[in-house]
Amino acid sequence: YILSTGASGSVDALSYSADVSQQHTDGFSAFNRERGGIEDDGNETTTYSGRLDGKINDHLRAYSTGRYTRSYT
């Protein structure tokens, strides 16, 4: 399955966004089952990301982004 959600908005000269997504798979055995391969190589990955964007003046904006990913196999 894949799940994803996010939000964004702005207050005065500051804009922001935040997102979270998760992906899960049961996987399959990459090793031939006839030779003893019994594990499924599943995976679960979660990603968090965000952005801040600020207007400094009419000609200049500054922004910062970040992303963190955690994965289990």
For 33, the 3-state DSSP assignment is helix
- DSSP class of residue 37? -
Partner residues linked to 12 by β-bridges: none
The one-digit pLDDT tens for each residue of the chain (73 residues) are 999 999 999 999 999 999 999 999 988 777 777 777 777 778 999 999 999 999 999 999 999 999 999 998 8
Tally of residues, the chain: 73
Full-model pTM: 0.75
What pLDDT does residue 34 have? 77
Gap between the Cα atoms of 44 and 64, Å rounded? 27
Q: Which of 19, 17, 15, 16 is nearest to 6 (CA)?
A: 19
